[in-house]
């Protein structure tokens, strides 16, 4: 496995007016790592993920993606090959057929004409069908996306990401709206695909159980700071109790 640094954060800081959402965070994530971001509500997980995508501009510190500052990436094609996002709301267009949503992973590469033409005659159909097959949805390619279940829609979002093929995948609470069986299904599929492709995955999660089951490293955030950053097997119940402030007497 290559050991290049995919994400380097040095003293990353984000203020929203007077609110300090991220306070001098530092960490390095290497290619191929599966990182779970955990921490209490309001700790700064979403803000951190949004900083890495550039959606939320940082207030201070340095952020390097594959050795280059975010500002060195022009929005569009090159950045889409570097960083892809998967969200809880899936960001799919409900009235479109599944295949069009999957092919949306190519939009940043295609010009306007090819993108529009693809809505009439799907372009690079084989690529989309292959991705759908990998997520077990090849028989749903021409169904209307909004008629699919939440778990199926999340699989469509994963197939879209497979077509986009970014080096880094950021997922913000990707299974929060799914029942435990579907959530397990999605996380095992996502981590399997990412491992096969040697991609790098950073996922925020409320479930410590899923973080432990599917991820190799856990970065915990509390009050905008890194609370602990450890290989999963070194994370103890005491670490977690302290993170979520569960006192030994059993009170929360
Ligand atoms: N646009 C904003 N304007 C002002 N404050 C914000 C904004 N976005 C986030 N915050 C604040 O920054 C802090 C971190 O929020 P963030 O959403 O990153 O936490 P989180 O760990 O993802 O929480 P959750 O687990 O509940 O999703 C919170 O106190 C939040 O209220």
Looking at ligand 1, which residue's alpha carbon is closest to its atom 17?
Answer: 46
Looking at ligand 1, which residue's alpha carbon is closest to its atom 8?
Answer: 47
Helical segments of the chain, H only: 45-53, 77-82, 98-103, 112-120, 125-134, 150-164, 180-196, 208-214, 237-243
CB-based contact 22:51 (threshold 8 Å):
yes
* Cα–ligand 1 centroid distance for 130 (angstroms): 37
Q: Taking residues 63-87, what's their average pLDDT?
A: 84
Domain limits, the chain: 1-66+167-252, 90-160
* Cα–ligand 1 centroid distance for 175 (angstroms): 19
* Cα–ligand 1 centroid distance for 70 (angstroms): 21
CA separation, residue 53 to residues 58, 122, 209 (Å): 11, 28, 26
- Average pLDDT of every residue of the chain: 88
CB-based contact 62:5 (threshold 8 Å):
no
* pLDDT over threshold 80, residue 90: no
- The model's pTM is 0.88
Q: Taking residues 26-33, what's their average pLDDT?
A: 97
More confident residue, 244 or 118: 244
The residues pairing with 86 across neighbouring beta strands, listed in sequence order, are 171
* Cα–ligand 1 centroid distance for 9 (angstroms): 19
Class of domain 1-66+167-252: alpha beta
pLDDT of residue 252: 39
Residue 181 and residue 133: Cα distance in Å, rounded? 20
CB-based contact 37:204 (threshold 8 Å):
yes
What digits encode the pLDDT tens for the residues 204-228? Answer: 999 999 999 999 999 999 999 999 9
ipTM of the complex in this document: 0.96
What digits encode the pLDDT tens for the residues 151-200? Answer: 899 899 989 988 988 999 999 998 888 888 888 988 999 999 999 999 99
Looking at ligand 1, which residue's alpha carbon is closest to its atom 27?
Answer: 41
- Residue 39: CB within 6 Å of ligand 1? yes
What digits encode the pLDDT tens for the residues 114-153? Answer: 666 566 666 678 889 999 999 999 999 999 999 999 889 9
* Cα–ligand 1 centroid distance for 19 (angstroms): 9
- What does the buried/exposed string (b/e) look like for 103-133 if buried means 16 or more CB atoms within 10 Å of the residue's CB? bbbbbbbbeeeebeebeeebebeebbbebbe
pLDDT of residue 139: 95
Kind of pairing between the strands at 168-172 and 83-87: parallel
Looking at ligand 1, which residue's alpha carbon is closest to its atom 28?
Answer: 42
CB-based contact 131:163 (threshold 8 Å):
yes
Q: Which two tokens stand for residue 143?
A: 């169904």
- Residue 176: CB within 6 Å of ligand 1? no
Q: Specify the ligand 1 atom closest to the Cα of 173.
A: 27
Which DSSP state fits 97? B
More confident residue, 160 or 109: 160
pLDDT of residue 81: 82
* pLDDT over threshold 50, residue 31: yes
């Amino acid at each position: 496995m290559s050991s290049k640094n995919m994400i380097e954060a040095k003293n990353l800081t984000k203020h929203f007016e007077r609110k300090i959402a991220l306070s001098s965070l530092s960490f390095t994530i290497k290619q191929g790592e599966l990182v779970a971001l955990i921490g209490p509500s309001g700790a700064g997980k979403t803000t951190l993920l949004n900083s890495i995508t550039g959606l939320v501009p940082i207030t201070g510190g340095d952020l390097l993606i594959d050795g280059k500052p975010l500002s060195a990436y022009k929005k569009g094609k090159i950045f889409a090959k570097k960083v892809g996002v998967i969200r809880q709301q899936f960001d799919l267009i409900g009235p479109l057929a599944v295949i069009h949503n999957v092919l949306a992973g190519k939009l940043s590469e295609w010009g306007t004409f090819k993108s529009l033409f693809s809505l009439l005659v799907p372009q690079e159909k084989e690529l989309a069908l292959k991705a759908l097959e990998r997520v077990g949805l090849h028989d749903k390619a021409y169904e209307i996306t909004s008629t699919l279940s939440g778990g199926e829609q999340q699989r469509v979002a994963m197939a879209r990401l497979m077509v986009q093929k970014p080096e880094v995948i950021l997922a913000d609470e990707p299974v929060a709206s799914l029942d435990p069986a579907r959530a397990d299904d999605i996380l095992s599929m996502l981590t399997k695909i990412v491992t096969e492709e040697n991609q790098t995955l950073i996922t925020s999660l409320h479930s410590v159980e899923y973080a432990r089951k599917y991820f190799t490293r856990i970065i915990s955030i509390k009050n905008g700071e890194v609370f602990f950053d450890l290989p999963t097997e070194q994370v103890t119940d005491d670490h977690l109790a302290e993170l979520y402030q569960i006192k030994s007497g059993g009170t929360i």
